[in-house]
Amino acid sequence: MNAQPTPQDPFLQFKESQKQGWAYFSPLESLTIPQAPRLVRHARVRSGDRLLDVGCGTGVVAITAAKLGAHATGIDLTPELLQRARQNASISKVSIDWREGDAENLPFDDGAFDVVLSQFGHIFAPRPEVAVGEMLRVLKPGGTIAFSSWPPEGHVGRSSALIAKYLPAPPGVASPALWGEPRVIQERLGNQVKDIVFDRARMTVPVLSVQLHRANSERVIGPLIKLVEALSASDPDKLAQFRAEAEALTLEYVEENILRQDYLLTRATKI
């Protein structure tokens, strides 16, 4: 079992910022709920599976799997989201082991799980090679790793790139959108897995106007919250420019008050 992160972690400050930013994500839970069964089905989760949900957020994937009879564990960096997850599980009458922790340092034994999943969660770990190494470490040989991610050419991927343009990530932090590239995924999983399978799906988001969508997103999306905080204090004109670009980008993906957000599903078997 790995030790917990220490102050020597070079990305500790970045992770603390993430923890604070994602604390406001819960209002978006309703959008992630319909996606959870897609990931669980893609991963071929079965009753009795020992399952880990990495970056579990409000617990929608872990709870969906537990309803099918899986023995689910959920881990997330943000305590506010875990509090919501515990409430959701309690009301749903399922038992899940919730842990506060870091995708880059999972507090579990080698081979502890039959299935390791992540729905748009592990992609925000600063070092992909560390996160995927940990996910595969705690997965048993023959077990399944599966996750959902945002392609760089889609709305979320392009929006992430726009945020990074105005508020660059610290040196050494990889773009989350690279997890949406099948070629990159194959490289990162490397020779530790076999039988990689990709699929595509779409999340649809009600949008009354691009201005309202942008304003609402600024209250719940972690990196966007941090960008607005930074530019509000230092450069209001630059913030206005960002907002105009963000609204124009969103408009490209909106039709009849529906924003389309396409994503990638990945599944592989650990060798």
- pLDDT at residue 160 in the model: 96
Listed residue (161, 266, 145) closest to 223, CA to CA: 161
The structure tokens listed for 103 are 């995708």
Q: What is the pLDDT averaged over residues 201-218?
A: 98
Which residue(s) pair with 53 in the sheet? Answer: 74, 117
pLDDT in tens, 105-163: 999 999 999 999 999 999 999 999 999 999 999 999 999 999 999 999 999 999 999 99
The terminus-to-terminus CA distance of the chain in angstroms comes to 20
Three-point CA angle 219, 56, 45, nearest 5°: 140
pLDDT tens-digit readout, 182-197? 999 999 999 999 999 9
Q: How far apart are CA 73 and CA 97, in angstroms?
A: 5
What domains, with CATH codes, occur in the chain? 12-270 (3.40.50.150)
Look at residue 3 and tell me whether its pLDDT is greater than 90. no
Q: What six digits make up the tokens of 56?
A: 């579990």
The pair of structure tokens assigned to 9 is: 């972690």
pLDDT tens for each residue of 214-232: 999 999 999 999 999 999 9
Place of tokens 């604070």: 20
Phi, psi of 49 (to 5 degrees): -65, 140
Q: What is the pTM (predicted TM-score) of this model?
A: 0.94
Query: Which run of H or of E encompasses 202?
Result: strand 193-206
Strand pairing category for 258-270 and 254-255:
antiparallel
Structure tokens at 215: 């304003």
